[in-house]
Structure 1
Amino acid sequence: MPFFVDRVSDGSLIVGKAVNSAVKRHLNDLKKSDWRWKFDENLAGKAVKFMELLPDPKTGKPNELAPFQKFIIGSIYGWVDKNNSSIRRFTDVFISMARKNGKSLLISGVILYEFLFGKTPPRNRQLYTAANDRKQAGIIFGMVKDRLKALMVKDEGIKRMCQIKRDEIINLDDGSIIRSFSRDAGLVDGYEPHVAVVDEYANAKTTDMIETLASGQLLLPSYLTFIISTAGFDMNVPMFTQNYPYAKKVLSAEVEAERYFAFIAEQDSIEEVKNKSTWIKSNPLLDVDALKAQITDYLSTKLKQAENDGSINSKLIKNFNIWRQAAEDSYMDIQNWNSAEINSMNIDGQRIWFGVDVGKTSDLFAISWMIPCEGYWYADSFAFVGTKYGLQAKIKADRLNYPELERKNECEITTLESGVIDTERVFNWLNDFVEKHRLDVQGICFDPYQYGPLLTLIEKRHPEWQQIEVRQGTLTLSMPTKQFRDDVLEKRIRHPENQILTSAVNNAVLKSDNNGVRIDKNKYANKIDALDALLDAYAVCFRENIDDYLTNEDVLSDDFGF
């Protein structure tokens, strides 16, 4: 473990920003004296030694752990309670790296260690290997069985105490069990997972599996929940929208979570993929001299094939652990969108262009807006959520936690018994929003589909608000659609954190015809309403000059003159 930490610290080992942060966090924690935890090198070394005794399922021979693996295992087992070393500091573990870097093999060792030598609780420990489907859940379970069988051949004591069945492994001495669990199979009654490993979580569309496992761990003082996965194609899944950004915040010390461990081996940019010397960032097994040539040759071959056959996205995701949209025709690179994120700004007294997209009963009713600032546009959005077919059904279909987003003030869920969105409530929200922030409304830019009721309300109560119809064809939207994407890339459009808007950006693909391009959704259930509304506003206001932008305060100041 020190071998890895020291080389990361002095810069002699190339690692990504997230791994560097994990090492810095470890070193900073070692300096703390006035808190609950201590680092016990003997406990860390004991766990590492056991892992290195385990046979590889493919060769039957034990292998020395790679330096990064020693860091992970050493961290999990070395950090313990000062007064009770049987209580681990880390209960939740997030590990992400490129495929074929030994993460599943490593975690199978953790399961066996806890199964054979776990102390909290001393009896009846339940250990689960979990995944989105039965086949994936069985991969780690199969590794555990194969490695345990090899141990049983070498050690009579282990052979006597263990019983291997098709669907479970039993410790006859203390009643502990290992089982596999998948979302489609469900759990047995009375589960209380001492260790739960969720493999390839990027494939999970909902948080149901994690929530089910966590609900059984309430009374366990030293449980272990692992999320292990390579990046994925779908950027609206819980791993990308919740777990991955949370882990990044923990590593950067933006969020304090002393019992959460994260190790994210990834490329820091797509451009780095062109430089072989950086591949070790997402493929930490390249730090093992005996494997370096083989892995480098494999990655070089796959990358060259991808460039020729158009499957580059797949290789960036699986072999370099970079989150990418599945569709090659995706409207915008999510990395560019995320790079344009800023903190929420004070919009009081500003000029504003609103865009409105009226959804069907099962859709969202989106209001987005553009505000000119010095050198850039500030974009944000709010949505009204219909529940005609049930809120839970909508949450699952859209893969957005609307109650949580309502608490974050990104949306409002209809309270009507019918589940239909109340147009008058939409108008009242808009009216209150404008009054609260003293906004200077330059235009309400709308898609005419189903807009009539809101148009009438605005005409009656705010005739001074100019309502501008935006024709929904490529002839009108092509230029602003392309310009919007370019402006995001150049950070001439900035936005705050807004999950509904970001989800819409993730879902949008580019469609073209003889008149140009416009966005569309890639699947029926994938919502792009918030982005549609934003582009309606941008189609009207994008020709405004933001480089010579003047605020009302500038005009009223003593220095202003002609």
Structure 2
Amino acid sequence: MQEITAEILIERVWSYAEKIHSGEIKAGKRQKWAVERFFKDVDRLAEDDCPYYFDAEAVVDFYEWSRQFNHVEGILAGQPIELTDFQLFIAANIYGFYKKENGARRFRKAYIQLARKNAKSQFLALIASYEIFPTQEKHRVFIAGWSREQSDEVYQAILEQLHHAPILKGKYTSANGRVKKYKTNSIIQPLSREARKLGDGKNPSLGIVDEYHAHETSEIYDVLDSGMVARRSPLMAVITTAGFNMERPCFKEYQYTSKILDPDIDTENDDYFVMICELDPEDDIKDESNWIKANPIVATYPEGMESLRSALKVALEVPEKMRSFLTKNMNRWVDQKDNGYMKMTKWRACSGEIPDLQGLPVYLGLDLSMTTDLTSVGYVAMQDGFFYVGQHSFMPEARAKEKMATDKVPYDLWREMGFITYTSGEAVDYQLVEQWIIEFIHKNRFRLQETAYDKWNALHLAQRLESKGHTMVELPQRINHLSLPTKSFREKVFERKVVHGDDPVLTWAINNAITKMDPQENIMLDKAKSPQRIDPIAAVINAYARAMYHDTNHRVDLNNHFGSGNFSF
């Protein structure tokens, strides 16, 4: 192999960055921000008080290490791995900057988001093997996918690289689901969900989180991160594509790391390297010149471009495939599930302060599910053309721990925040629900108008409230009854005529909500198909179904309407 000097490699890195900056290589705004950050970091090195130095030889070491391995699949199978300029730029950042005070790596974390098939697993495999083999220190590398299959994908890429590297023959064993280096007992091990706590307390030096968008909670990330405290120079590496569930921890990480890059936002974290390659919102997905923004490797060779063309053709012909194309191939976050009810960006834009409800007309909605599950009361108040919405939910305390494990949400934290009440025993106590409603009305001193309910679960409670002077309106949970309020509520959200108090329970529920449609294009929320509980938003829509008719010129008496000869099922 030709000898590569530090000068040659750094020139490649600098040239690549300049091409991104000048527009010679097309890039999304976040990738451009990452390059601008790199230029600023390099300029800082000349300052006497800069806490960092740059070690070009360390970059050479990683580059030369990579060349010891061969591509194991694709059109380059069997050929030595030659880092692309894009990969080299990432490596120069992670392995080039060090702290003057102790010689530790500057970057303790890395968030890299790019489209699929851009050699993510290969790059992760390289940094994993580099962590344990070219050193005499004892290191521990853990690979964390949400499923065992995800963890194994990177682990298998590591094994294939190691098995085809002559220089490592006889220097390690791969048994019992982990790689172990003989001389130092350093290990590389995938973590399954069932055994994900293995990284806790094991002092990992490198944590690899693959496809973070698929992780339902941050638990495995947090376990690895907390275990690194004693390491002088640890690295937590997250490499992922975009996703479509914006309530998962990956999207929050994407938002945070975007702020680190954004030059107009004062968020600094010198320990965190960020590279996000994605199409910008205004980009035309049919314009092939844009594809390199999300595909810094795939879009540089003919076979890769042909693969993207094929994927786009399918997505255009089969609309159900478009979400997958946008997230996996164009690396865009798509804020709606298949048949999802709400665009979550629209919902978040409606976050605001709920005013004092005293004197305001307010409607309540009940969604009383099975007594062993979540039960919710929704409310809708009106003022000056705006709908102020909220909810309160109830769960049997004896079931709470079990539900937290299955639903993967912090019911205990939401209880402390005041959005959920635990009821004693194995079942929801509807007398407690009744008591909460009465106290809620009394405390806020609003003008309660009506309470909408479905008699299937709430008939007894409705009768008790009615005996106390409440106006109760039966609202059957059928598509022809719920379609109009379900559509109208969404329209009001899009018009920003709805205000919610950033209630995490309601936001979680609305993100879970899936709709179903009949041949007449009527819709309603579908509890059977929604991945998790939607009771809080169902309760709010029940309340809205009456609130939307508050204008007396358009009021409809549903009880009379259902009993008239003009109504039929």
Q: TM-score range by the shorter chain?
A: 0.7 to 0.9
Which of 458, 473, 491 is the equivalent residue of 2:496?
Answer: 491
Residue 421 in 1 paired to residue 413 in 2?
A: no
The percent of aligned pairs where both chains have the same amino acid is: 28
Q: How far off its partner does 1:28 sit? A: 5.9
Structure 1 CA distance for aligned equivalents of residues 195 and 86 of structure 2? 34
Establish whether residue 126 from structure 1 lines up as the match of residue 143 from structure 2. Answer: no
Query: Are 2:193 and 1:176 equivalent residues in the alignment?
Result: no
8 Å contact kept, 1:47–1:77: no
Partner SS state of residue 403, structure 1: helix
- 2:406 alignment partner, SS class: helix
Q: 1:217 to 1:475 in 2, by over 3 A?
A: same
Choose which of 412, 424, 433 in structure 1 pairs with 2:420.
412
Distance in 2 separating the partners of 1:385 and 1:213 = 32
| Cα 1:249/1:396, change in 2 over 3 Å | farther
Residue 110 (structure 1) shift = 1.0
1:473 aligns with 2:478: yes
Corresponding residue to 1:354 among 355, 358, 364: 364
In 2, the alpha carbon distance for the partners of 1:263 and 1:92 equals: 11
Q: Distance in 2 between matches of 1:398 and 1:423?
A: 23
Q: Please tell me whether the aligned partners of residues 131 and 199 of structure 1 are also in contact (alpha carbons under 8 angstroms).
A: yes
Partner residue of 2:59?
A: 45
Equivalences for 1:39-438 in 2 at 5 Å? Answer: 40=54, 42=56, 45-46=59-60, 49-50=63-64, 52-55=66-69, 56-58=71-73, 59-85=77-103, 87-117=104-134, 123-151=137-165, 153=166, 155=167, 158-159=168-169, 161-165=171-175, 167-184=177-194, 191-232=202-243, 237-240=248-251, 242-248=252-258, 250-251=260-261, 257-269=269-281, 272-285=284-297, 288=300, 291=301, 293-309=302-318, 310-324=320-334, 328-338=338-348, 340-347=349-356, 349=358, 351-372=361-382, 376-389=386-399, 391-409=400-418, 411-414=419-422, 416=424, 418-423=425-430, 425-427=432-434, 429-430=436-437
Per the TM alignment, residue 529 of structure 1 is displaced from its structure 2 partner at its CA by 0.7
Matching of residue 450 in structure 1 with residue 457 in structure 2: yes
Contact 2:110 2:237 in 1 (8 A): yes
- The SS at the match of 1:94 is strand
Does the CA-based 8 Å contact 2:132-2:138 persist in structure 1?
no
- How far did residue 81 of structure 1 move? 2.5
Does structure 1 residue 542 correspond to structure 2 residue 548? yes
- Of the structure 1 ranges 231-240 and 177-186, higher mean CA displacement relative to structure 2 is found in 231-240
* Superimposed CA distance per residue, residues 370-396 of structure 1 (whole angstroms, 9 cap, x where no aligned partner): 34465654444333333443x232113
Which residue identity is paired with 2:405? Answer: K
The offset of 1:278, in angstroms, is 2.6
CA distance in 2, matches of 1:380, 1:295: 48
Measure how far apart 1:433 and its partner are.
Answer: 5.2
Whether the 8 Å contact between 1:91 and 1:259 is mirrored in structure 2 is yes
Q: Distance in 2 between matches of 1:231 and 1:99?
A: 9
1:195 deviates by 1.2
State the secondary structure of the residue aligned to 2:526: strand
CA contact (8 A) 1:47 1:73 kept: no
Would the aligned equivalents of 1:44 and 1:73 in 2 still touch at CA under 8 Å?
Answer: no
SS state at 1:123 partner = coil
Q: Number of matched residues?
A: 527
Residues 508, 522 of structure 1: 8 Å contact kept: no
Q: Which moved more, 1:93-102 or 1:210-219?
A: 210-219
Contact 1:97 1:265 in 2 (8 A): yes
Secondary structure class of the residue paired with 2:297: helix
**SS of 1:316 mapped into structure 2:** helix
Q: Distance in 2 between matches of 1:250 and 1:438?
A: 45
TM-score by length of 2: 0.79
| Pairwise CA distance, 1:89 | 3.3
| Aligned counterparts, 1:511-526, within 5 A | 511-513=516-518, 516-523=522-529, 526=532
Q: Check conservation: 1:397, 1:525, Cα contact below 8 A.
A: no
- Structure 2 residue 542 is the aligned partner of structure 1 residue 530: no
Contact 2:125/2:155 (8 A) holds in 1:
yes
Unaligned runs of 5+ in 2: 1-12, 552-569
- Larger mean CA deviation between 520-529 and 22-31 belongs to 22-31
Aligned AA for 1:473? R
Letter in 2 for 1:239: C
| Offset at residue 255 of structure 1 (A) | 6.0
Shift of 1:61: 2.8
Q: What amino acid does structure 2 have at the position aligned with 1:210?
A: Y
Q: Distance in 1 between matches of 2:285 and 2:223?
A: 38
- How far apart, CA to CA, are the structure 2 residues paired with 1:20 and 1:371? 45
Paired letter, 1:141: Y
**Which consecutive unaligned segments of at least 5 residues does structure 1 have?**
546-562
SS at match of 1:382: strand
Alpha-carbon distance change, 188 to 441 in structure 1, aligned in 2, over 3 angstroms: closer
